[in-house]
Structure 1
Amino acid sequence: MQTFKKNERLCSATETDRLFREGKVLFRHPLKLIWLPAAWEGPPVVKVIISVPKRNFRHAVSRNRIRRIIRECYRKNKHILSEGLGDQKCTLGLVFAGKEIPQYIKLEPIIILLFQRLIQEHEKAAG
């Protein structure tokens, strides 16, 4: 199902701090994917936070546009993660590190590649 509901978002400040402190990083310009295995009860396999630094984009309109593009790429391709991770829970942070507003067409393959690398890394860490 291609939705992105509230329970799929990483909202807890303590979980977010833990993710950015202890998480493992995968990078493919212009996206940095930070991930950390987690455990919680309930249906979402992955909880996600999307971040665009104010340092690179001073105007909120630009940051919101980039966040919207990343969110749409995630929403359309999250099935890759749910199939690859199975029942193992994971928290994700998607941080945009580019200097200009990306196009959806160019960002989607990068996100797919990062998801595939995440599944490989997760399998190495688990087994």
Structure 2
Amino acid sequence: MYTFKKEERLCNKSLIEGLFHNGSSFLCYPYKISWMPADAAQQFPVQIVFAVGKKRYKHATDRNTVKRRMREAYRLNKQALLYNVLNDADRKLVLFISYIGKEIAPYDFFEKKMVKLLTQLAAEATK
């Protein structure tokens, strides 16, 4: 239930490219989300990529810290807030979440904003 497997990560370059050309996006500070419906062939309801800009965070350790906190907040909240809603609506998504915040906040902040983001995404994806 609280896992984040390799199959849930988006690695397909053509899907990522299609996501930027054809997908929808919105801002839920400190995250910017691009998403689009996916084909029914994928195993999990969502495939996802997390990104942190090198321009804002020069040190790889800072980028990795931010990505680690984003992944953990997603992992703990995805089932209740996103997967259950998408499974009920029989939808599948591909997601790209980018961190655009200016500072590395404590984990509590990341989790609170991720809950808000997943709730908003579930509402938009099931429209």
TM-score by length of 1: 0.92
Task: Determine helix, strand or coil for the equivalent of 1:91.
Answer: strand
Identity %, equivalent residues: 37
In 1, distance between residues paired with 2:18 and 2:24? 11
2:117 aligned with 1:105: no
Q: Counterpart in 2 of 1:4?
A: 4
Is there any run of 5+ residues in structure 2 with no aligned partner, and where?
Answer: none
Distance in 2 (alpha carbons) for counterparts of 1:85 and 1:51: 23
Superposition deviation, residue 113 in structure 1: 1.1
Matched, 1:82 2:78: no
Q: Which residue of 2 aligns with 1:21?
A: 21
Task: Count residues in correspondence.
Answer: 124
**Would the aligned equivalents of 1:57 and 1:63 in 2 still touch at CA under 8 Å?**
yes
Equivalent position of 2:37 in the other structure: 37
What stretches of structure 1 move > 3 A for 4+ residues in a row? none
SS in 2 for 1:81: helix
The residue correspondences of 1:48-87 to structure 2 (distance < 5 A) are 48-79=48-79, 80-86=81-87, 87=90
The RMSD of aligned alpha carbons is: 1.1
Judge conservation of contact 1:26–1:114 (CA < 8 Å) in 2.
no
Question: Cα distance, 1:26 vs. partner?
Answer: 2.0
Cα distance in 2, alignment partners of residues 94 and 42 from structure 1: 19
Q: Which amino acid aligns with 2:85?
A: G
Distance in 2, Cα, partners of 1:47 & 1:35: 10
Task: Give the Å deviation of 1:42.
Answer: 4.1
